Amino acid sequence: MSDLIHDLLFHSAQRTPGAEALVYGQRRLNYGELAGLVRSTASALLASGLERGERVAVYLEKNIENVAAMFGGAAAGGAFVPVNPLLKPEQVAYILGDCNVRVLVTSTDRLRLLKEALPQCRDLRLIVATGSGELPALHGVEILSWDEFQATANAALRPHRAIDGDMAAILYTSGSTGKPKGVVLSHRNMVAGAVSVSTYLENTPQDRLLAVLPLSFDYGLSQLTTAFRVGATAVLINHLLARDVLNAVVAEKITGLAAVPPLWIQLAPLPWPEDCTLRYLTNSGGAMQRPTLDALRKALPKAKPFLMYGLTEAFRSTFLPPDELERRPDSMGKAIPNAEVMVLRPDGSECAPGEPGELVHRGALVSLGYWNDPAKTAERFKPIGALHYGLPIPELAVWSGDTVRKDEDGFLYFISRNDEMIKTSGYRVSPTEVEEVVYAREHVAEAAAIGVKHPALGQAIVVIALPREGSAMSAADLLAALKPQLPAYMLPQKIVIAEGALPRNPNGKIDRKLLSMQYENVFAEGA
């Protein structure tokens, strides 16, 4: 049994050392080779003086060194911190300082950009740089090339003892509502997630999973842990265009593809081949709109769509089995294996079917809280054991901050994030509900509904919509189409026709917070 996250890889290497494990461009490593690289990286980290639980940050695009550094950090007995490669130097330095990073693995080019921001990272002692070029100097910090670092490996050094309850990783949220929060994940959290997901996706060693999303995103990292758990192949890609993803699927004979709604919108209209090897598609990070789902099912009739819901604090909570799509296309599904998901009132009592309440997740996937932030941890992680199960020691569950409802059969439906609800004319309006109606218009490619300050309404609804290519849709046309479909209080007070793709956050989701900032004064006097 794999109790620790790196054991997923090591156990697959024991079973099938010659099986292909990781692909990056022309580089291909089998499980034996990848396990050897991870072990040598762990040994080099130990030789550098890494102590139990100390943090190893990885600020790289998706590549083989990235994977080796993350799993090597865990194998040494430390904890890895994947940093989104899209973040800027000041954002990276904040994360490194916040969780007291001891070792940073990055590229030579990225290190040059980071150099001015790194002096504030007082716990940093070693930087390992991949790629070529002269390495800059940094006072008080040892800087080695990747090859120099690997040469320090000492196989005689034993990794620090670890158990499944120990910290394995810290994943930082995007920080769209302020400074990013570091979600602390245990080995147990990550292994339980890999087992659960690979179970309902029915993954096998024959699967080939395309890692499109950032590895700093729990959904992106899951492509690796799921593959390693069953001995499948993970293919890394740093794509610029949606067409790059299609080309990789075809070239690498991909069987499993995970993406977020904005990327699915771009992928759906592409010319997918009739003999496409995709066995399944997964969606998380927001609801997939019906037109996109319909287009994907038409283009890829052999690929089963799995609609999923998750939050970094508990990784994954629900999935909708593909055979329920016809009856419940708008549902989030039910709890994943080895998790319990409840819909609760503020006092902790269970909601009746159809009654909105907060989604609360309990079980092995509930993380260890937020790094260095006991106040926010106490807000989100609350005991439920004494109230629901009479346990002698109350169990902590994660309160998601998302409002959902449950039907008579126990299937869940997303309503809104509590912090995104629009309060207009005394009503609470879900932006998702407005967006669903907007997306139903055939000329809309992307859309976001936001609430902005309004002198009379409190907040007014603004819709930002991107027309499909070749469409001459105007704001007046869209408003006229919405009027028969929405009550007056849900109609947007303003529609903005976007000239390009809507902004994304580092995980690829449409950035509502940034849009809210851009349009916050649109109804101000004189605006």
CB 170 within 8 A of CB 185: yes
Q: What's the longest Cα–Cα distance across the chain? A: 73
pLDDT in tens, 100-131: 999 999 999 999 999 999 998 999 999 999 99
pLDDT in tens, 315-350: 999 999 999 999 998 999 999 999 999 999 988 889
- Give the pLDDT band (50/70/90) at residue 394: confident
Fill in the amino acid letter for 166.
D
Residue 389 has pLDDT above 90, yes or no: no
d(CA 230, CA 102): 32
d(CA 328, CA 385): 32
β partners of residue 413? 405
Q: What is the pLDDT of residue 525?
A: 57
- Give the pLDDT band (50/70/90) at residue 523: confident
Residue 440 has pLDDT above 90, yes or no: no
pLDDT in tens, 37-89: 999 999 999 999 999 999 999 999 999 999 999 999 999 999 999 999 988 89
Place of tokens 């009550």: 487
Residue 245: alpha-carbon gap to chain centroid: 18
Written as six digits, the tokens of 458 are: 């409190």
> What are the structural domains, with CATH classification, of the chain?
5-187 (3.40.50.980), 326-417 (2.30.38.10), 421-518 (3.30.300.30)
Mention every residue, 6+ apart, whose C-beta is less than 8 A from residue 163. Answer: 3, 187
β-pair type (304-309, 318-320): antiparallel
Higher-scoring residue by pLDDT: 445, 224: 224
Mention every residue, 6+ apart, whose C-beta is less than 8 A from residue 330. Answer: 287, 290, 413, 436
Q: What is the pLDDT of residue 363?
A: 95
Written as six digits, the tokens of 513 are: 């917070």
Mean pLDDT in residue range 144-164: 96
Residue 125: alpha-carbon gap to chain centroid: 29
d(CA 75, CA 161): 10
Residue 175 has pLDDT above 60, yes or no: no
User: Percentage of the chain with pLDDT > 70?
Assistant: 96
